[in-house]
Amino acid sequence: MRNEALQAVTIPAQQLPVSHTPDVVVVGGGASGVAAAISASRSGADTLLIEQRGYMGGMGTAALVPAFCPYTDGEKPVIRGIGLELLEKMKHAAGDGFLNRYKDQLDWVPIDVETLKRVYDDAVLASGAKVLFHTVADQVLLEGERIDGLVISNKSGRSVVKAKLYIDASGDADLAALAGVPFHIGGDSGELQPGTMCYVVTGADRARFHQFLENTGEHPQLEGLVIEAQKNGDLPEGRKRISGMAWITDSVVGFNFGHIFGVDGTNAASLTSAAIEGRRLIDTQIRFLRQYVPGFEHIHLVHSGDQIGIRETRRIVGDYTLVVEDFLSMRTFEDDIARNSYYIDIHLANAGSTMTIKHLPKGESHGVPYRCMLPQGKSNLIVAGRSVSSDRPVQGSLRVMPNCFAMGEAAGTAAAMAAEADCGFREVPVRELQRKLIEQGAWLGGRPGEASPVPLAAVSAVTFDDECK
């Protein structure tokens, strides 16, 4: 098929039915969308969550990210509320063996994908929210600074959803972009963090693997073996270690291993080529694991991601842009709706560049202001997740799932408050929003009236390092 010059076609006007009229609509069922839907519905709003796949979970289920990044600052849980509740639900639902192993762990807890899908289903439905799978929002109807409706498409055809408030939890600011919100993408030269095609294998021998580590002193991320395989031509050049191995059982392991460069998560052709390249790379990695790593001689690939894992795309221009100086100074804002202690984690843009990692001191965090979720020019739209208003370094910290839970919970609670008051997001009283979040179990850094901190039981990185997600 030749790539002809771009042409334009005028689509005939259509009269579409209005299929849903909720108070709040959430677009995207990843970590931020799940938390947003639960919090909005629990707070009394008639809530609809729209998700393009047949399940919720985003990168944690569709892309098979092997483990949740840290919930703690090394001393105490920073991410609490709905995010911590869902983590604990997954632990208990995954069975006694999983629970016994990870009961007291809050950082780098492996993700049992099929269990997590059911946990999200049950939690969202139990909150009273409605869910519409296999559906995309492909057009925004505008009325001045307000979104007046969304055009959705699915097997039932095209229809319109008209809500009071809209939450963009797509991860890529898709809804905001359709609505004309200004945004930035990638670095100064348009460079983007690479993607990773994660996967799950069975047939591993955990005891044999750990005996090998103990006997040789090899690092759990197998840097020595990776470098040896790259010298021998059995692995491509690039990252010198396995960033994440998550043992779901003693024989089932999830992998976050290697990079696919130049992937634009907002471009269908780019996602397509990355998926194909990612599956080819998995085949190379499986052969490496069988040949080089004791305990992995007989592994079998059982699942690769439905899509390649994406680390960054759009960042909206909001009422406030969170910048690296805010991170490094551990700044607190008057309108904080969450705290973040995850390190700045920007993955190399090509095989020859290096990682950028900056840690906060143990026990420290910075505030995430409500204003960074409010997109310029839109009154009834809020954005939650990795595409909030920040500079690129801070996006490298905010983007992980625990933080997305916290931002989603704040967005959903604010949406319910705005729906009840029949106002826009900027008219939501921030002090009241903060009070409600604390009552729901969120942690905002020890504000007056907050319950004493939850004790930190155990934090274990085990087979994850500082380059997880």
Per-residue pLDDT of 274-327, as tens digits, reads 999 999 999 999 999 999 999 999 999 999 999 999 999 999 999 999 999 999
Looking at per-residue pLDDT, the higher value among 447 and 215 belongs to 215
| pLDDT tens digits along 80-100 | 999 999 999 999 999 999 999
Q: Which amino acid is at 15?
A: Q
How do the domains of the chain map onto residue ranges?
18-188+313-439, 199-304
Mapped onto helix, strand or coil, the DSSP state of residue 20 is strand
316-327: b or e for each residue (b if 16 or more CB lie within 10 Å)?
bebbbbbebebb
Least confident segment among 129-133, 185-189, 377-381, 446-450? 446-450
Task: Report the share of the chain in percent with pLDDT over 90.
Answer: 86
Confidence of residue 241 (pLDDT cuts 50, 70, 90): confident
Query: Can you give the pLDDT at residue 324?
Result: 93
In three-state form (DSSP H/G/I as H, E/B as E, the rest C), the secondary structure along 144-203 is CCEEEEEEEEECCEEEEECCCEEEECCCCCHHHHHCCCCEEECCCCCCCCCEECCEEEEC
Give the CATH fold of the 18-188+313-439 domain: FAD/NAD(P)-binding domain (3.50.50)
C-alpha span between 262 and 197 (Å, rounded) = 13
Residue 457 pLDDT more than 90?
no
Q: List pLDDT tens digits, range 15-55.
A: 999 999 999 999 999 999 999 999 999 999 999 999 999 99
What pLDDT is recorded for position 468? 40
